Structure 1
Amino acid sequence: MKTRLASLTLAASLLSLPAFADGKVTLKDPSGDDNGPGTYKYPTDTVYKKGSFDLTEASIEKKGNKVDFNLTLATNLEDPWRMGKGFATQMIFIFIDTDGKEGSGHTDSPPGLNVQFAPASAWEKLVILSPQETARVKKEIETKAAGLKGDIVVPDRTKGAGKKISASVDASLLGAGDPSQWGIQVVVQSNEGFPAGNDLLTRKVNEYEGQHRFGGGHDGECDPHAIDLLAGSAKGDPSEVKAQHEMLKYECAEDGSAKQKATLTMVRQSK
């Protein structure tokens, strides 16, 4: 009798489970490292509040046929430019290595980030979270990153609330797989409505900061335009600050071009 009851209880519990296992990955990043390679400074305008570009957590979870993205920053979001999505100054790039195979995927990045990926960390998919209208982001991708557009996903709706920027996309757009098995890299940039040259809605980093320009970098195109990202074991350990600075090291040629680009690697959830 006890055996039968146990079997019935197990069967009932199994029926209450989803039809297939959903994956989740949560990655941490230490506070206070929103300075790129260690030298970057915020623009001087007051809309760029301290901590606005300081990533503290990235959570990716598959729920049925959707994948949810939640990015947490160090300060509450604001919408000073009335973008209508609960945030305005931030722009998030989420690079995903779905297969973990060297030589599979892209090692370059959209124009305006000035970074590349190590061959073993090549990405298959990129999700962009922007306060701009989806149609405009897609048009910019079509114009400025046509060679990558097939692997760039722009959610239909992105929102900001509290300290979190969130969005959901169809899992089919990201290919098969469990997010907990993916390699992830999150690059925090700033939404730029009037981008320079071929930049994909990203804000420049110059030698000296200005009202709407980050400082501490280079006036050429050799410095990485990445304010914060994931590094190390992505557990939020203080040692990961140094790992970020090392990853974002760069070298400039005399003409301002990149002699050595900052080279990013993916992070993976620790077992």
Structure 2
Amino acid sequence: MMRISSKAIVITVLLMMLCAATTFVQAQDAVNYYYEEGAWLDIADNIGDDKGPGYYQYPLDKRLRRGTFDLKRFRVYEEGSVVVFEIQMRNYIMREWPDTRKSEDQGFVANMWDIYIDIDGRENSGYQMALPGRDLMFSGNLGWEKVVIITPLSEFEVFDILRNKTDELDFQNRVDDVVYPDYVRVERDKMIVKIAKSKLPGISERSGYQCLAMGYNRIVSPNRLLNRDVRGFPTFDDFGGGHDSYGDPPVMDIIVPEGEDQYKLLRDFRSEPYRENIRYASVPFVFAGGKKHAPGMKPVVKEPAATLGINIPPPAIIPPPTAPTAPTAPLKPILTPRPTAPVKPAPIATQNSSGFVPLKPVASSKPKEGFKPIPKAPDGFIPVKKKD
């Protein structure tokens, strides 16, 4: 009897624990995996457009084959508490240099990518300029809140490089918003990067993205940040087809929304010998469905007040209070002046007259009492008598 009761108690406890576990699992939020819900962003890029604005040339390094910097597809999706970025290139990603068999910490050697994230999709928020050395800005009054920088170097080396880049003080205000990958894996022609959501607060399916494909070179200067530069003619390390001044965006390929042209976007700049005179090229963000704006948000268009759908009555006009006035006397009729006789014209000189019209003599009034006129002096010369 005791054995039966003890077995019943054990079974009852196990059933209660199973029920509690089931309740806990049901209370958790559903996890969105890529193969269940799909990607936040999945966009295919044109093949063969790895020429920047349309006229860039590859470096003279024969190890860099055409297609090394050509974007083919870009995906963003979530896996639980992790955000996954998948970058697919036209060629296999170079894991090592073919002549020396040397590689870098992250397992690749030639490529570099920047992923700019507009988390909120709102205008006039975030940073509008890209990282130093990119010579790019973002269009539509949109800006990025976080940027993922993917280089062959380890996270610790990139962290030290960015912290020690003090030649641009404005950049130091943005260093905290540069995110380093938690996980990097190369799969043939794909670069898979995973980052914890805690590093990207607020990211969702409404966020926008821009991926820049560049060449990696371990050079840090006021005009470069681990990227290959663009010159007038290609060199062993740098791209050609640009100018030997400042302002050429050293970007070989980007993703573009529907209706946009990469060549047209990247060639809309003006290179200058002084950086303060540069007119930078502007690139857009890409949102879900390949759109240029966040879902549910349309570009601001000024419309007349009558078409906005808001029925607001016009404000009532209240006249200002006036002080009471005293009663006025009845108005007197206005007397019109009598018509005056026309003025007689002056006599016109005839042909025999001398042209002089004498005036009528004016009668002189008698002097008033107490006033005596001065007697008129005698005519002629009066000699003055000299004294002896």
Normalising by the smaller structure, the TM-score range is 0.7 to 0.9
2:52 — aligned with what?
Answer: 36
2:188 — aligned with what?
Answer: 162
Unaligned runs of 5+ in 1: 1-13, 234-238
1:248 maps to 2:266: yes
1:127 maps to 2:152: no
1:151 maps to 2:169: no
- 1:84-141 Cα deviation digits (max 9, x unpaired): 4332110000001110111110001111111011253211110111111111111222
1:183 — aligned with what?
Answer: 208
C-alpha distance 254-166 of structure 1, shift in aligned 2 (>3 A):
closer
2:17 — aligned with what?
Answer: none
Between stretches 82-91 and 190-199, larger displacement belongs to 190-199
Structure number with higher relative contact order (C-alpha < 8 Å, ≥ 6 residues apart): 1
2:66 — aligned with what?
Answer: 50
- 1:176-206 Cα deviation digits (max 9, x unpaired): 232x321111001111113444521111011
Q: Contact 2:257–2:284 (CA<8 Å) still a contact in 1? A: no
2:326 — aligned with what?
Answer: none
C-alpha distance 152-254 of structure 1, shift in aligned 2 (>3 A):
closer
CA distance in 2, matches of 1:177, 1:252: 34
Secondary structure of 1:141 counterpart: helix
CA distance in 2, matches of 1:208, 1:198: 18
- The amino acid across from 2:174 in the alignment is L
C-alpha distance 250-24 of structure 1, shift in aligned 2 (>3 A):
closer
Q: Contact 1:121–1:183 (CA<8 Å) still a contact in 2? A: no
Q: Contact 1:191–1:201 (CA<8 Å) still a contact in 2? A: yes
1:103 — aligned with what?
Answer: 124
Q: Contact 1:222–1:250 (CA<8 Å) still a contact in 2? A: no
Shift of 1:47: 2.2
CA distance in 1, matches of 2:113, 2:271: 28
Unaligned runs of 5+ in 2: 1-24, 34-38, 166-170, 290-294, 296-388
| Structure 1 residues 3-152: aligned runs within 5 Å | 19-21=30-32, 24-78=40-94, 79-80=96-97, 81-144=102-165, 145-152=171-178
CA distance in 2, matches of 1:254, 1:164: 37
CA distance in 2, matches of 1:104, 1:28: 27
Q: Contact 1:134–1:157 (CA<8 Å) still a contact in 2? A: no
Secondary structure of 2:182 counterpart: coil
CA distance in 2, matches of 1:209, 1:196: 19
Structure number with bigger Rg? 2
- 1:43-81 Cα deviation digits (max 9, x unpaired): 010221211100111111111111111100000111214
Secondary structure of 1:191 counterpart: strand
CA distance in 2, matches of 1:250, 1:46: 30
- The amino acid across from 1:31 in the alignment is I
1:225 — aligned with what?
Answer: 250
Q: RMSD between aligned alpha carbons?
A: 2.4
CA distance in 1, matches of 2:195, 2:160: 18
- The amino acid across from 1:19 in the alignment is A
CA distance in 1, matches of 2:155, 2:271: 36
Q: Alignment identity in percent?
A: 28
C-alpha distance 264-155 of structure 1, shift in aligned 2 (>3 A):
same
Q: Contact 2:103–2:109 (CA<8 Å) still a contact in 1? A: yes
Q: Contact 1:37–1:246 (CA<8 Å) still a contact in 2? A: yes
Shift of 1:169: 0.8
Shift of 1:254: 4.8
- The amino acid across from 2:91 in the alignment is T
CA distance in 2, matches of 1:106, 1:130: 21
C-alpha distance 65-254 of structure 1, shift in aligned 2 (>3 A):
closer
Secondary structure of 2:199 counterpart: helix
